[in-house]
């Protein structure tokens, strides 16, 4: 690890070129009190293969206004580089990288994938995500489980 003085116009938030978030779901019937502050306890079976299949609708350069908690006049186009879902023991770990995130974006994506996996939410035949904005926002995952894991900057900025 190297430490260098940053440029005068460097800003830790606005100079980032992309960020990684990690979300932890504790997927076991019984709650472990040691994990409850750091993960979302979902005591029902989650179909990881279905979640992996449906994640494609969130990857790429898209308008994420339908799942954000932003005002309607804000530019909600973001470029999601990847969304990875893995089962590690009793946990489901979701990694997502994008050039920027909107308020509530990761939690809404995770909540949506869990709702699809549990058959709480269905897609229509044309594979539309959702008809009304309020529907998807009602599936927001709780904040415990969400972690900012990495921030990347261009070498010339720092």
pLDDT in tens, 112-158: 999 988 877 766 544 555 444 445 556 899 999 999 999 999 877 55
pLDDT of residue 135: 53
Tell me which DSSP letter residue 3 carries. -
CATH number, domain at 137?
Answer: 3.30.70.660
pLDDT of residue 107: 95
Q: Is residue 7 part of a domain?
A: no
Q: Is residue 157 part of a domain?
A: no
C-alpha pair distances (Å), 13 with each of 4, 56, 101: 18, 27, 11
Euclidean distance between CA atoms 27 and 22, whole angstroms: 16
Percent of the chain whose predicted confidence (pLDDT) is above 70: 87
Euclidean distance between CA atoms 77 and 75, whole angstroms: 6
Euclidean distance between CA atoms 24 and 40, whole angstroms: 6
pLDDT of residue 133: 45
Q: Is residue 6 part of a domain?
A: no
Q: Is residue 64 part of a domain?
A: yes
Euclidean distance between CA atoms 21 and 94, whole angstroms: 8
CB 83 within 8 A of CB 58: yes
Domain count along the chain: 1
Q: Is residue 27 part of a domain?
A: yes
Q: Is residue 101 part of a domain?
A: yes
Helix (H, G, I), strand (E, B) or coil at 144: coil
Q: Is residue 116 part of a domain?
A: yes
Q: Is residue 9 part of a domain?
A: no
Q: Is the pLDDT of residue 87 over 90?
A: yes
CB 82 within 8 A of CB 66: no
Residue 45 lies in domain: 16-152
């Amino acid at each position: 690890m190297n430490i260098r003085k940053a440029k005068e116009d460097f800003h830790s938030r606005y100079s980032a070129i992309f960020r990684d978030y990690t979300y932890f779901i504790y997927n076991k019937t019984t709650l472990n009190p040691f994990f409850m502050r750091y993960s979302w306890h979902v005591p029902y079976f989650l179909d990881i293969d279905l979640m992996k299949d449906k994640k494609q609708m969130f990857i790429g350069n898209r308008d994420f206004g339908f799942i954000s908690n932003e005002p309607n006049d804000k530019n909600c186009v973001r470029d999601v580089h990847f969304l990875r879902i893995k089962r590690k023991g009793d946990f489901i770990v979701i990694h997502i990288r994008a050039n920027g995130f909107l308020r509530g974006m990761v939690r809404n994506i995770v909540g949506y994938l869990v709702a699809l996996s549990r058959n709480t939410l269905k897609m229509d035949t044309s594979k539309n995500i959702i008809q009304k904005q309020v529907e998807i926002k009602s599936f927001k995952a709780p904040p415990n489980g969400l972690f900012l894991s990495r921030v990347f900057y261009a070498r010339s900025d720092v």
